[in-house]
């Protein structure tokens, strides 16, 4: 499968369309071929390289599995060779739980095959109203 994205948005569409279709091949086609790609899903270790990225997404794909996600753009910064999209993802909540947004940063790079994803990082949502965030001192 080949994705020739003319814009960062084309690459982004290919990524989320593949997730919705549960297509692991489509998903990997939206990622850059280089081994410096990186993916960080919520509360999971950082993974690097195409093989590890493939393993991260495999559980969401195939055999009828897929992830229905709607994406809202929050911020968008682009140069000739790099693009950063800060988005809000909303997936269907498990039964009985409220829908909560997940923040994501998607970074795209322009190369010989057009624009491709090089970083996908998610951050979990804030806790429900009334709960105090844990005391992470992190900046």
Binding site for a copy of itself (CB under 8 A): 16, 19, 36, 38, 40-46, 48, 57, 60, 67, 69, 74-75, 77-84, 86, 89, 91-92, 94, 102-105, 107, 109, 118-127, 133-139
Question: What are phi and psi for residue 58, nearest 5 degrees?
Answer: -55, -40
Maximum CA extent, the chain? 49
Minimum distance between the CB of residue 84 and a copy of itself, rounded to whole angstroms? 5
Minimum distance between the CB of residue 4 and a copy of itself, rounded to whole angstroms? 20
Question: Distance between CA 64 and CA 139 in Å, rounded?
Answer: 40
Measured between alpha carbons, how far is residue 106 from residues 85, 109, 118, 130, 133 in Å?
5, 10, 8, 30, 25
Cβ distance to a copy of itself smaller for residue 10 or 91: 91
Question: Distance between CA 19 and CA 67 in Å, rounded?
Answer: 5
Cβ distance to a copy of itself smaller for residue 2 or 139: 139
Minimum distance between the CB of residue 42 and a copy of itself, rounded to whole angstroms? 5
């Amino acid at each position: 499968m080949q994705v020739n994205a003319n814009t960062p948005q084309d690459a982004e569409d290919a990524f989320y369309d593949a997730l919705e279709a549960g297509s692991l091949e489509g998903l990997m086609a939206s990622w850059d071929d280089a081994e410096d790609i990186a993916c960080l899903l919520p509360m999971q270790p950082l993974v690097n390289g195409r093989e590890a990225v493939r393993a991260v997404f495999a559980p969401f794909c195939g055999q009828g599995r897929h992830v229905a996600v709607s994406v809202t753009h929050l911020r968008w910064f682009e140069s000739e060779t790099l693009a950063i999209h800060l988005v809000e993802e909303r997936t269907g909540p498990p039964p009985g739980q409220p829908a909560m947004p997940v923040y994501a940063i998607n970074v795209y790079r322009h190369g010989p095959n057009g624009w491709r994803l090089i970083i996908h990082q998610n951050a979990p949502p804030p806790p429900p109203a009334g709960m105090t965030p844990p005391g992470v001192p992190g900046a």
